[in-house]
Structure formats: structure tokens, C-alpha cells
Amino acid sequence: MSLSESRLDLGTTFLSASRLILGTGGANSLAALERAIVASETELVTVALRRVDAAGPGLLPMLDRLGVRVLPNTAGCYTAGDAVKTARLARDAFETDLIKLEVIGDERTLLPDGVELLRAAETLVADGFTVLPYTSDDPILARRLADVGCAAVMPAGSPIGSGLGISNPHHIRLIRQSVDVPVVLDAGIGTASDAALAMELGCDAVLVASAVTRADDPTAMAVAMKHAVVAGRLAFSAGRIPRRFHALASTSDAGRAQW
Amino acid sequence: MRLTVNGQRVDTGVRSVQALVESITEAQRGVAVAVNGEVVPRSTWPVTSLADGDVVEVLTAAQGG
């Protein structure tokens, strides 16, 4: 596999080279965020929608200057109704039909509310959105989301910001097998090896926010994530060796000296 | 005219959504408005009048995952 075969279609948008999507939440400053975005070589970054007085200026001009595309989210929404309204506002604000659909079920875990999520996804797909839902690692729910027309599914490896990595790798593989749309591992990544694992499990892309923005050195972690996603993807397509219970010598016994 | 703008009560002379947005942000892009819970598309801001008691949300891009 060459990296030139990297294009990934996500409904009406695509990733041309990098399979790393960066979340912009959690950064200490716009300058730190900018350095991380540049270092990650991402093409697509998430943004939230907040009141102008709370949001602070400068984010969108900076993203425009860097030439990265914007994936608005519905962060903080707890009902389908709220999420649909937020998505429509985001479409008007950012002139994109892309939406990272989040409908949270619980403040402590920030895990998705599957019932509300599916409801919102159906409405937004019918309304012409390219819906990228943040979902749980439930293969059945992922399939239902794909069935209603979501352009991808984005299962959580573990709760948002937890850094616990991929707690159920088997389910991520099941999701990969049960949908025909791209699978983006979203949430829970703690470090580069988690991102590599996601790609080795067959995910098409990885979305990382806190693991980069809250790292001691966000720029260095952004570089690590970039390499991890490439390495994981190459390893997946290269085909790993089967796991064995016992050793299998790589060096032939033939021609060994006899004493 | 009394409005509630982003949760704050304000007394204002502005009449249109366009004028209200210009009075609180310089951003040319990336702004969305809801009045009484309904999205007001950007193209209609100049011709959308505000009424006493309207609840207005003026939103823009913020950092978020």
C-alpha cells in the first residue's frame, strides 16, 4: 500500500493524505493549538459552537490561514432536538453540511445516548447533512447509524478525555466488519500506540483531541500521532502474522554447525 | 426594545438581526443566530426584524473536540 492510496471519502468531504482528524478542545492557547495542528499535518479539525462572548476571537481565522477544513460538532447536546438545532446553526455559521453528531447521555461518562443519537442522525441525514456520529463501541448501534445514512461511524475507544485507549478492541473490529461506511475511532485515545492500534484494527481514521492538546508537549504528541496513524494503517494493510502459543524460529536449522 | 442576547438582558435600539450581530461581534464569518430557538439564516439577517422580548443566541466557533 502506498500512502497515495490514502484518500478517504466521508460523504461530501474527504481526507486526501492524513487519516488523523484533530479535535481542537483542551488546548492551553490558540498558539499552542496552531503548532499542534501544523505538526499533526491534519486536514480536518473539529470546532464547537458557543456564544460569541464566551468563544473568544481568532479560532476560525487561524484555521482558515492554515488551510484546514472545519468539522463542526454538537458537543454538549443531551437531546436529539438540541443536537439537530445546533447542527443547523453550525451549517449556517460554517457553510458546511458536515457535522460531528454528539448526543451525550451522561455527564460523568460523556458516553453517547444511542436512542437520541439515532433519532438525530435520521433527521439530519434527511435534512441533507453529512453526518459523522460519535457513537459507542456497540456494533449493532453502529450498523443502525450506517443504515439510516450516516457517512461514517465514529465509535469511542473509551470515554472522552479518559486516555484509557481502546477498551474493547474486539468490538471495534466487529464494527469494522458490520458497516460499509468509514470507521473513525473517536475518543479515549491516550497516546500514540492507541492510535496505531485503532488503525491496526481496521479503522479508516482516528480523531484525537485531548491526547494531543493536553499532553505535556502537544506539538511532539501531534507528530507522534501522525506517525502512529500511518504506522497502524500500513501494518493493517501489510497483514500481521498470526498469534501463536509457542515460538516459531525465524532462523533455519539447516546448515547449523555440528560440534 | 428589550432583548435577551446570549443570556443577558439588553436594552437596545437595533431593529434587525444584522444590526444586532454587528453590534456584538466583528467576525465576518462563522457566526450563526437563533431567535426564540429558530435558526435565522445569514442571508435573511438584514430583513429579519427583532421584537420586544425576543431571545437571541449569537454563536461562533470555539475550541472543542
Complex-level ipTM: 0.92
pLDDT of residue A36: 96
pLDDT the model gives residue A13: 87
Q: Calculate what percentage of chain A has a pLDDT beyond 90.
A: 90
Q: What is the pLDDT of residues A211-241, one digit of tens each?
A: 999 999 999 999 999 999 999 999 999 999 9
Which is higher by pLDDT, B13 or A205?
A: A205
Closest-CA distance, A114 to chain B, in angstroms, reads 19
A224-252 b/e (C-beta count within 10 Å ≥ 16 → b): bbbebbbbbbeebeeeeeeeeeeeeeeee
3-class SS of residue B49: strand
Instruction: Give how far B64 is from chain A: nearest CA, Å.
Output: 4
Q: Which of B24, B39, B58 sits opposite A88 (nearest CB)?
A: B39
**Contact check, Cβ <8 Å, B59/A89:** yes
Q: How confident is the model at residue B7 (pLDDT cuts 50, 70, 90)?
A: very high
In this prediction, residue A41 has a pLDDT band, given cuts at 50, 70 and 90, of very high
Q: Does B64 touch chain A (CB under 8 A)?
A: yes
Asked whether the predicted pLDDT for residue A189 surpasses 90, the reply is yes
Of A82, A29, A78, A33, which is closest to residue A56 (Cα–Cα)?
Answer: A29
Is A3's pLDDT higher than 60?
A: no
Cβ of B41 and A24 within 8 Å?
A: no
Q: CB distance A57–B64 less than 8 Å?
A: no
Catalytic residue among A20, A22, A84, A100: A100
What is the per-residue pLDDT for A55?
A: 76
User: If you average pLDDT over residues A184-204, what whole number do you get?
Assistant: 97
pLDDT band at A184 (very low <50, low <70, confident <90, very high): very high
For residue A71, the model assigns a pLDDT of 96
pLDDT above 80 (res A56) = no
In this prediction, residues B36-44 reach a mean pLDDT of: 93
CA A223 to CA A234: how far, in whole Å? 17
pLDDT at B25: 87
Would the pLDDT of A34 be above 60?
yes
Q: Which residue has the higher pLDDT, A141 or A58?
A: A141
Q: CA-CA distance, B47 to A44, in Å (whole number)? A: 34
User: How high is the pLDDT of residue A144?
Assistant: 98
A143-180 pLDDT tens trace? 999 999 999 999 999 999 999 999 999 999 999 999 99
A100 flagged as catalytic: yes
Reported pTM: 0.91
Record the cell numbers describing residue A258, joined without a space.
Answer: 555440528
The mean of the pLDDT values for chain A is: 94
Distance between CA atoms of B65 and B62, rounded to whole angstroms? 10
Three cell numbers written together for A139: 456494533
A235 is in an annotated binding site: no
Confidence of residue A1 (pLDDT cuts 50, 70, 90): low
Buried b (16+ CB within 10 A) or exposed e, B3-40: bebbeeeeeeebeebbebbeebbebeebbbbbbeeebb
**Interchain CB distance below 8 Å, A60 and B60:** yes
Range A11-36 average pLDDT: 92
Please check if A237 is assigned to a binding site.
Answer: no
> Could you give the CA distance from residue B25 to residue B20 in angstroms, rounded to a whole number?
9
Residue B23 with chain A: CB contacts under 8 Å: none
Q: Give the number of A-B residue pairs with CB atoms closer than 8 Å.
A: 103
Q: Taking residues A181-205, what's their average pLDDT?
A: 97
